[in-house]
């Protein structure tokens, strides 16, 4: 294979080594540049000599400053560049970006489950949520019992899942920040894949009353809530019998759901990346971003998240806001999280993991510039605070921490019915409530994890396919998975992560 490096912007003074085995010292690249040292795949090579203090530029943006003299052909990594300051929020003025006129995308459909509230599911799942962690043991027990004894009797129901969490008691229930975990639990119960059939298992003495988790008055607490401390229960066996009886009533209703033809406008797709590498911003995220634009053109909904992986690119996103109110909301979410990190005596630099750095991402600035590409180029129509539900179709920014599990939990609460997860280093991440399409940013990972990755965006790096071609392929795969025609790897293997609440409030 020839020596291949990728320069993303004409102004860049670094390029990314694309060869799967990296390049050795003495290798010649571009216009006769000779490598001065061995450089691994995904890592940066200096295309010009940099003096101490000079800007290091990738994506046409400053990702850091040389903290020593760096010769042309040398390896640039987290050790020899320093982190720049984040964009000052007060200095970012909203100047609305011209919205390119795009033709609506019509005629694309999938087979989904239509709900009475207008939402559409891609799975048909019995969901059991809890009001307090004390009951987690019994919900795990009951899920296994339902799978063995009841699910075979209701063939149209895909699964039963429990949302266990560590919240509900020993908390300051009325603290301002407590609203985040509370509304998260309540909104997850309303996810389209549950079909409006809500079961809440409570203990009885907890601070978080199960009634607060019901979406509105139309849901009967008699049919949706069961307290283990109910004095009518004598022993564990009767508690189990009570839950099984309630579950059967919900299963009977869920079993009546049938897939029907739905417009692609009913898609609600959450975009997330984890275990990112330097290729994520070159292949996987741009391909996902192109697919995101297709979904928006079809009238559907897409959201991207991960505040710390947006913060250093916020100056690029504010001009894409549909109006000044949305632009201000974007900045407000950044400011809230800046304050949250400051209270914890942490900063955004803590986001970048050893694996990110091993994959060539030197710092959070470089990571953020590659991360936001998965939002495509559509205008941002709304900003959703942690735990809230989306309010309108189109591209939404759903504010979440960058932690994979917390982000996935909050995206479920926002109402996603499909999940797209882009990775460069690899992760078995999966959710049992929605299908998770795993996208690899490089073919080396896809070949090695052939039974864990659903879509390989790696061919883009070598010019074998374009971002547009692969974006269309991914869009069509989303429709196939949403229809139940194709199973994703995590569903085939039953690999699912626990959901994790974001709780910035105090414990008592």
How would you write the pLDDT of the chain (508 residues) with one tens digit per residue? Answer: 689 999 999 999 999 999 999 999 999 999 899 999 999 999 999 999 999 999 999 999 999 999 999 999 999 999 999 999 999 999 999 988 777 778 999 999 999 999 999 999 999 999 999 999 999 999 999 999 999 999 999 999 999 999 999 999 999 999 999 999 999 999 999 999 999 998 999 999 999 999 999 876 555 567 899 999 999 999 999 999 999 999 999 999 999 999 999 999 999 999 999 999 999 999 999 999 999 999 999 999 999 999 999 999 999 999 999 999 999 999 999 999 999 999 989 888 889 999 999 999 999 999 999 999 999 999 999 999 999 999 999 999 999 999 999 999 999 999 999 999 999 999 999 999 999 999 999 999 999 999 999 999 999 999 999 999 999 999 999 999 999 999 999 999 999 999 999 999 888 8
- Contacts with 486 (C-beta within 8 Å, 6 or more apart), sequence order: 477, 480
Residue of 371, 372, 363, 491 lying closest to 423 (CA atoms): 371
Q: Is the dihedral of CA 402, 406, 408, 410 positive or negative?
A: negative
Residue of 288, 297, 284 lying closest to 270 (CA atoms): 288
Q: Is the dihedral of CA 329, 330, 333, 339 positive or negative?
A: negative
The answer to whether the beta carbons of residues 138 and 228 sit under 8 Å apart is: yes
Fold matches, 1-85 and 121-254? no
The answer to whether the beta carbons of residues 446 and 456 sit under 8 Å apart is: yes
**What's the whole-model pTM score?**
0.95
CATH of 121-254, one of 1.10.10, 3.40.50, 2.60.40, 3.30.160: 3.40.50
The answer to whether the beta carbons of residues 507 and 170 sit under 8 Å apart is: yes
Alpha carbons 336 and 92: distance in angstroms, whole number: 16
What is the chain's alpha carbon radius of gyration, rounded to the nearest angstrom? Answer: 24
Q: Where exactly are the structural domains of the chain? A: 1-85, 121-254, 267-493
Query: In the CATH hierarchy, which top-level class contains the domain 1-85?
Result: mainly beta
- Contacts with 57 (C-beta within 8 Å, 6 or more apart), sequence order: 9, 11, 12, 13, 14, 63
What are the tokens at 457? 């965006």
């Amino acid at each position: 294979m020839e020596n291949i490096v990728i320069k993303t912007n004409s102004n860049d003074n670094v390029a990314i080594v694309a060869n799967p085995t990296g390049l050795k010292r003495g290798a010649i690249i571009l216009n006769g540049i000779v490598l001065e040292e061995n450089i691994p795949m995904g890592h940066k090579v200096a295309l010009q000599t940099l003096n101490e203090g000079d800007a290091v530029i990738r994506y046409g943006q400053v990702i850091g400053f040389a903290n020593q003299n760096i010769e042309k052909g040398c390896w640039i990594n987290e050790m020899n560049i320093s982190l720049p300051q984040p964009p000052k929020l007060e200095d970012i003025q909203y100047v609305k970006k011209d919205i390119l006129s795009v033709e609506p995308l019509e005629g694309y459909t999938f087979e989904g489950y239509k709900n009475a509230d207008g939402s559409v599911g891609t799975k048909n799942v019995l969901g059991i949520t809890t009001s307090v962690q004390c009951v987690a043991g019994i919900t795990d027990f009951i899920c296994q019992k339902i799978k063995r004894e009841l699910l075979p009797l209701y063939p149209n129901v895909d699964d039963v899942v429990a949302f266990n969490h560590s919240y509900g008691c020993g908390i300051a229930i009325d603290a301002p920040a407590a609203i985040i975990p509370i509304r998260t639990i309540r909104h997850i119960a309303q996810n389209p894949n549950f079909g409006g059939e809500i079961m809440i298992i409570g203990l009885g003495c907890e601070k978080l009353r199960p009634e607060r988790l019901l979406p509105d008055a139309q849901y009967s607490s008699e049919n949706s809530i069961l307290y283990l401390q109910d004095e009518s229960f004598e022993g564990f066996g009767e508690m189990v019998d009570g839950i099984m009886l309630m579950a059967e009533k919900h299963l009977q209703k869920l079993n009546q759901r049938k897939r029907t033809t739905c417009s692609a406008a009913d898609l609600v797709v959450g975009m997330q990346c984890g275990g990112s590498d330097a290729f994520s911003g070159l292949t996987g995220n741009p391909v996902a971003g192109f697919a995101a634009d297709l979904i928006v053109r079809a009238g559907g909904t897409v959201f991207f998240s991960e505040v710390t992986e947006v913060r250093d690119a916020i100056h690029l996103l504010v001009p894409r806001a549909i109006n000044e109110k949305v632009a201000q909301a974007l900045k407000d979410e950044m400011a809230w999280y800046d304050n949250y990190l400051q209270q914890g005596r942490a900063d955004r630099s803590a986001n970048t993991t050893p694996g990110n750095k091993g994959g060539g991402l030197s710092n959070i600035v470089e990571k953020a510039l590659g991360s936001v590409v998965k939002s495509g180029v559509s205008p941002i129509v709304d900003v959703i605070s942690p735990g809230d539900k989306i309010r309108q179709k189109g591209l939404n920014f759903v504010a979440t921490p960058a932690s994979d599990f917390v982000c996935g939990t909050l995206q479920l609460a926002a109402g996603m019915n499909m999940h797209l997860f882009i990775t460069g280093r690899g992760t078995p991440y999966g959710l049992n409530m929605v299908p998770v399409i795993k996208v690899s940013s490089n073919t080396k990972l896809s070949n090695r994890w052939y039974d864990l990755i659903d879509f390989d965006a790696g061919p883009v790096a070598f010019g074998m396919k374009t971002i547009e071609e692969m974006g269309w392929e991914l869009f069509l795969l989303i429709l196939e998975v949403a229809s139940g025609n194709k199973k994703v790897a995590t569903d085939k293997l039953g690999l699912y992560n626990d959901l994790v609440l974001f709780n910035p409030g105090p414990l008592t």
